[in-house]
Chains A and B, each alone.
Chain A
Amino acid sequence: MYRYDAVDRAVLADRTAEFRDQVRRRLAGELTEDQFKPLRLMNGLYLQLHAYMLRVAVPYGSLSPVQMRGLADIARRFDRGYGHFTTRTNIQFNWIRLAEAPDILDALAAVDLHAIQTSGNCIRNVTADPYAGAAADELEDPRVWCEAIRQWSSLHPEFSFLPRKFKIAVTASPHDRTAARVHDIGLLLRRGRDGGTGFEVIVGGGMGRTPHVGPTIRSYLPAERLFSYLEAILRVYNRHGRRDNIYKARIKILVSALGAEAFAREVEAEWEKIGTEGDVPAAEIERIRAAFTNPDFLADPSTGDFEARRAAEPAFARFVRNNLKAHVRPGYGIVDISLKGIGETPGDISADQMDVVADLAERFGQGDIRATHEQNLVLPHVRLEHVHEVWKALDAAGLATPNINLISDIIACPGLDYCALANARAICVAQDIARRFEAPEKAEAIGELKIKISGCINACGHHHVGHIGILGVDKKGEEFYQLTLGGSGAEDAAVGKILGPALPIDRVTDAVDAIVGAYLRERRDGERFLDTLRRTGDAPFKEAVYADAH
């Protein structure tokens, strides 16, 4: 992975010193809260319901064991012994004291991490395929481009005050694990007809109160022209994006208002003006590429007793079925670590668990850890021979729940338990559903089913793209939940459709159970939940949930 150089470290040291002085001035009364709030937000520090929350950027979801231990140390010294991985592959600490925030930034900088651009109307952390560099179906490692975008967009003066926040995803696999089509910009690496590498460019996707699946505005952009094209998109957005109405300020509204073709014409015209001067030199891309050195793969490693143990130990076999994915190299696998233990808070991880993951990555995983936008972790390069030992260690730490992509692998935002913006809780809804479907046989029989829960319309829990989406609303002063069906954040991206009237909190799990029951009755051989829903429409599901209301 990319390593900071002396300039990176100097920038971070300056930034932390600047923030330390800003905090001092705020506590001394030299800055008002109105003056200070934008400054703390630029350093990822929010005030939530119970305390300050610090959002730390995990660049394109990649962490080293040293960084993971650094996060564990912060969790212990400055928080309550845990952190929370988010749908932007960042980590949040929920119990931060203002006076200690600069010390935390110093601790982050010591392991090449920071909290810059995790808030505000700027380019946020880039999402990458969490299986990057390991996926069997990958064209090339997309993290090279993510890192180049990170460097290009960090503290970029022209793009520090955009009309609204801006999120970019990059993937190089036909199976989209980044939700690229619901990002402000989605970049899909493609092979060109000439054998070169380029991007399909999707612009104007997003969730929030007006969800959009982004249209493709250019089917093939040569990779070497990426940065001039990104600059052109952002310039058009900066010029025409609405600053008069926060609810209409995202680029999706502009693309939708102009139409994708007209927006693309504006971008192409701007791109022509910028020319190749806006591109990053090939040598710089190659310098970055060199930082993503290939792990030390063995040509034909032994798989040891992997198959024998899989045959002999049903619990291990279940973990392998659900949490181990195909690796590009023979003899290796991708291990998904579920942060969705039954009854636990989705995305939460204790400091001790962080240390376990760091140790395993160091001993068995080429020192590579990834965070996923589905609030899980990944060890992307594990020899099959070692998977059993990794599983045993994860199991002992409560991290081996075999539920990846199953019904209890639920995304949930912090909701009203922590968030100052939320209308309703999300975590307890996820916990209740997970408990209902706790039996692994039952979850496996149901198959792939992605439930995503948001505590407000800002959609941090990605409910719009949940196969079953759950949105917490405030209905006449009570917590109610609106269900949507048919959303997808994958390559078949879709926005879910509202099923019917919102339900009170104590009916949500029963409603999910009823939806699952209808699916199991209706499904044909080999169909996933989404396949059945798309074939039957929502009538059987509506009937199952609202039958009592007739």
Chain B
Amino acid sequence: MRALTANRLSDGEVVFWRAGAWVERLSDAEIFSEEAPAAEAEAAARAQPTVVIDPYLIDLVESAGFWAPVSYRERIRALGPSNHEHHGKQAEGGGAVEALRQAHGAARSSGRVNLIRRK
């Protein structure tokens, strides 16, 4: 499973793709199980350079009934900094945030690495 993420141009906020628009919570994001629609969404996102910067796909795993990024870099992006629990998206709390906190997995963000390679 995958989701499409980027940073919003106007404020740098981490955002996720949902049916042609951008949402701030991973729990609201569109989840792709197939390659083709994911690639299509990524191409569409790239055509929005005044909305977001550097969109890329991230891999997800299931965690406590929610989808969580495989890489902890992406989990930190989806949560906020671990030294300030009241900063970032994690401040809202709730089941989705807890699921992200409990998820385990790789450090490297394959989507990010692919983005760097493309550059």
Contact = CB atoms under 8 A, between A and B. Distances in A.
B83 interface: yes
Given A417-B81, A418-B81, A51 B11 contact: yes
Interface stretch (B25-33, B36-44, B60-68, B101-109): B101-109
B73 interface: yes
A28 B49 CA distance: 10
Interface residues of A, number: 34
A98 B81 contact: no
Given A424-B107, A427-B82, A479-B107, A50 B14 contact: yes
A146 to B, nearest CB: 32
Nearest to B70: A477
Given A27-B9, A50-B77, A427 B83 contact: yes
A369 to B, nearest CB: 24
Interface string B81-113: 111100110000000000000000111100000
Interface in A2-52: 26-29, 32-33, 47-52
A32 B49 contact: yes
Interface in A390-411: none
Contacts of B13: 50-51
B9 A50 contact: no
Contacts of A98: 9-12
Interface in A472-530: 474, 476-479
Interface in B1-52: 7, 9-14, 49-50
Contacts of B81: 49-50, 94, 417-418, 427
A47 B49 CA distance: 15
Given A80-B87, A97-B12, A50 B49 contact: no
A428 interface: yes
Contacts of B14: 49-50
A97 B13 CA distance: 9
A345 interface: yes
A477 B107 contact: yes
A477 B72 CA distance: 9
B108 A52 contact: no
A27 B107 contact: no
Nearest to A428: B82
A286 B3 CA distance: 62
Interface of A: 26-29, 32-33, 47-52, 80, 94-99, 345, 416-418, 423-425, 427-428, 431, 474, 476-479
18 contacts: A29-B50, A33-B9, A33-B49, A33-B53, A33-B54, A49-B73, A50-B81, A51-B12, A94-B81, A97-B11, A98-B11, A99-B11, A417-B81, A417-B82, A423-B107, A427-B81, A427-B82, A474-B107
Given A27-B9, A416-B76, A477-B108, 9 more contacts: A47-B12, A49-B76, A50-B13, A51-B12, A80-B87, A97-B12, A416-B72, A427-B83, A478-B106
